[in-house]
Structures are given as structure tokens and as C-alpha cells.
């Protein structure tokens, strides 16, 4: 468990922030892989993305290909949701956020420089992600142009649900309320 009935909201907030930062730093941490929800055409869309960094101001950074559907969906509606789950600590963290697309700008260029050469092919394919192909081997043709994109996801509300045999706990933190915690009915 990450937090208990006896913890105050400030202690819980610091624990949650610590776990989120660890998710970006430790490849084995369960928060490394996060579910990202966007507004698609008709149905909501959810996919798993890799959390690359959590900034000091609590922005979440995710890398993607500019041609992906999630980029189009974010450009149409910047309202997104993230969901983290830590199975050992029985903790779910849900985030309501605003997303920005950074492509061929200063932020994207800064992170592109840190991408190892062997990984750059993930962002330079001639075909866009999700394109129908005739076999699993096609679609890996490399182009010369980079479609590397950074998604900057700025949380507006963070909610944590601590599952426990002694009784679940649920708390929310809102940016508009200076991240002060409020208990919720689980």
C-alpha cells in the first residue's frame, strides 16, 4: 500500500508524486507504462504509452510518431486521461490533463538529440503507424524524415484509489486548488 487512513493529504500527495517520478526513471516500475485515453472519432481511444519523463512542474512526457492517430485526436481535442496501476501497492492513479503536441520545435529537438541511433528508426518509417500492410515484415522501410514527437501532458486533476482489505481510500488533487487533497467516497 502507498497510503493509509492515518496519512494526511500532504503526505499522500508527496508519495504519489514520488511514484510518478519513479515511473519515468525506473524501467521496471509499473508506472513506466501508462494508459492514455483520447477522444477519438465516435469511441474513446485508449492505448499504452511509455512515460519518458515527469518534469519538476509535473508535466508527463511521452514520445510518439507525428502521424499516429493519437496525435490527430489530441490536435482535435487536447483533453486526455492517463491511468497508472501499481499491482504490488494496489494503487490506481487517474489523471485528467491537457496535452500539447511538440513536433519539429525546440522541445522535440532537445529530446530527439537524446534518442539513441538504434531507436531512431521507430520515428522514421516511410509508412505511418496503423497503416494496413500485407505482412508483418512490411512497414519497416526507413525513410530519411523524422516524425519524432513529444506529447507534453499537463495534469489538471489527479485521483488516487488505494485498494485495501481494511477499506479502500480515494483522494483527489486539483491544480486549480494548489494540489491540496480532498477525500472522496471510494
| Range(s) of the domain holding residue 43 | 9-132+140-184
CA 62 from centre of chain? 6
Residue 128 sits in a domain whose CATH number is: 2.30.110.10
Q: Is pLDDT of 137 > 90?
A: no
Tell whether 2 is covered by a domain.
no
Residue 27 in any domain: the answer is yes
How many angstroms separate the CA atoms of 95 and 39, rounded? Answer: 15
Helix residue ranges, H only, 101-185: 106-112
Q: Indicate whether 3 belongs to any domain.
A: no
Q: Supply the pLDDT for residue 142.
A: 82
3-state secondary structure of 154: strand
Tell me phi and psi for residue 134, to 5 degrees.
-80, -25
Average pLDDT, the chain: 96
Alpha carbons 186 and 161: distance in angstroms, whole number: 7
Residue 60 pLDDT more than 90?
yes
The percentage of residues in the chain with a pLDDT greater than 90, rounded to a whole number, is: 90
Provide the number of structural domains found in the chain. 1
Amino acid at each position: 500500500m502507498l497510503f493509509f487512513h492515518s496519512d494526511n493529504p500532504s503526505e499522500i500527495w508527496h508519495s504519489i508524486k514520488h511514484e510518478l517520478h519513479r515511473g519515468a526513471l525506473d524501467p521496471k516500475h509499473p508506472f513506466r507504462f501508462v494508459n492514455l485515453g483520447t477522444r477519438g472519432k465516435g469511441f474513446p481511444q485508449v492505448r499504452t504509452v511509455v512515460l519518458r519523463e515527469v518534469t519538476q512542474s509535473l508535466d508527463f512526457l511521452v514520445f510518439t510518431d507525428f502521424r499516429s492517430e493519437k496525435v490527430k485526436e489530441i490536435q482535435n481535442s487536447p483533453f486526455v486521461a492517463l491511468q497508472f496501476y501499481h499491482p504490488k501497492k494496489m494503487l490506481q492513479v487517474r489523471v485528467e490533463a491537457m496535452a500539447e503536441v511538440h513536433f519539429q520545435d525546440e522541445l522535440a529537438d532537445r529530446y530527439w538529440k537524446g534518442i539513441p541511433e538504434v531507436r531512431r528508426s521507430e520515428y522514421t518509417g516511410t509508412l505511418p503507424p496503423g497503416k494496413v500492410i500485407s505482412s508483418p515484415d512490411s512497414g519497416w522501410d526507413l525513410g530519411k524524415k523524422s516524425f519524432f514527437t513529444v506529447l507534453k501532458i499537463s495534469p489538471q486533476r489527479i485521483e488516487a484509489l488505494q485498494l485495501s482489505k481494511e477499506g479502500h481510500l480515494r483522494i483527489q488533487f486539483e491544480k486549480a486548488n494548489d494540489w491540496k487533497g480532498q477525500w472522496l467516497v471510494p
